[in-house]
Amino acid sequence: MDKIFKLIKKEELRQKQTLMMIPSENYAWPEVRRAVGSILMHKYAEGQPGRRYYQGNQFVDEIEFLCQERALQAFKLSPKKWSANVQPHSGCPANLAVYHAMLEPGQKIMSMFLPDGGHLSHGWHTKDKKITLVSKIWRVEFYKVDSKTRVFDYRQLEKQAKKFRPKILVSGGTAYPGEINHKRMASIAKKAGAWYLADISHEAGLVIGGANKTPFPFADFVTFTTHKTLRGPRGAVIISRKEYEEKINASVFPGLQGGPHLHSIAGIAIALAKAKTKSFKNYARQVVKNAKLLAKLLKVGGLDVVSDSTQKHLILIDLQSRGTNGWVAANALEAVGIITNRNTVPNETASAFYPSGLRLGTPAITVRGMKEKEIKGIAAWILSVIAHVRDEKLPADVKTRAIFIKSFKDRIAKDKFLLKTKRQVKALTSKFPAPF
């Protein structure tokens, strides 16, 4: 057996025996994995279905047309008013395609501040450095959450937008626990003379499932990845108003990328069909129920839950008041089989690599069938693990930090309390098998 397949087998076992609680990760449907691993990966199909630059596209054209149709149907949109491009390889190029289609170099974008929950693809930069390609091409200004409530003040956002006058106003991100008021954002964009782009990469499945509010009909463009709450493969979709269809299509190809990944498009089409079922709607609502309960229990347990709760699938914890940070907590939780990720928080005082926050979510554990009873146990484990390592301090000095990191990882691998918790987590995962 090739070493690659041995490593895949090890990863399969890791996924089965741990709790996948990074909110951007999920289990794809078995049918999705079958489509993505199919012979469709052999085919080139540059261009749009029905207008390709290669021969032999009779059947893949039908697949892509069907995927476009299902994308619009999932959000109950008319093909006379809206258009779906299902070719972007991921979320970053999907957003880039919208900017590329609608803006000239140097024009303005206004988006959410990254440490407050925004995303790199929305033009992240610092005062001293243009970090992303988007920030190097366009002028990007960020809006922030209120420093006290850590949620949006739309009145302040509107004042900023009217002053800055962006051409595109972007909403969405990776670590904002609240729902976006899309109607208000669209109104702000209109008053500022901007188009409104709603990035619902995290919430797409929740929106289709009826657990979160829809950005339609308010947005001009909606982008989303397909592997998070939607349970599809890695990929992305751009839905735009019909009048922008040609610009968006030309921006994706030939503007930014070559041939589409037809195997992924087939997987997206399957996920979109699944998302319209009653069972998926029940799943989407349970994801939010689980997240809200988990946030409540963590708050009662003494953790600082950003915005006090969540309205969707993810929770952000600020660990500054506990005297520890996200790196320490995430590694200790991984040692017991609870997989989360360290993350920046509003009013962040630390670096992006060693931030003060912890981000976690409920999409994948809900797929496994876990509900309120299991959430209570998971919350207790999280609280006990964070309390167990509360005295571990990450040194500021680089050399001392390197020594600490090695020592810390060695210690948590042998820690009796953490090993006991790991056995308990493993026992839970055996009762709720992963869907593969």
Question: Please, what sign has the CA dihedral across residues 91, 96, 102, 103?
Answer: positive
234 is catalytic: yes
CA 49 vs. chain centroid, Å, equals: 28
129 is catalytic: no
199 is catalytic: yes
Per-residue tokens: 200: 């619902």
Q: Are 166 and 188 contacting, i.e. CB atoms less than 8 angstroms apart?
A: no
Q: Which of 150, 228, 342, 368 is catalytic?
A: 228
27 is catalytic: no
In 155-202, DSSP assigns E strands to 168-171, 195-199
277 is catalytic: no
Cα 145 from Cα 150, distance rounded (Å):
5
Q: Are 235 and 257 contacting, i.e. CB atoms less than 8 angstroms apart?
A: no
Q: Which of 31, 43, 44, 61 is catalytic?
A: 44
44 is catalytic: yes
Q: Which of 174, 225, 344, 362 is catalytic?
A: 225
Cα 118 from Cα 357, distance rounded (Å):
14
Q: Which of 31, 46, 141, 179 is catalytic?
A: 46
Cα 145 from Cα 52, distance rounded (Å):
45
Query: What H or E segment, with its residue span, contains residue 240?
Result: strand 236-241
Q: Are 259 and 283 contacting, i.e. CB atoms less than 8 angstroms apart?
A: no
Query: What H or E segment, with its residue span, contains residue 9?
Result: helix 3-17
Q: Which of 116, 158, 199, 374 is catalytic?
A: 199
Q: Which of 234, 281, 299, 426 is catalytic?
A: 234
Catalytic center residues:
44, 46, 199, 225, 228, 234
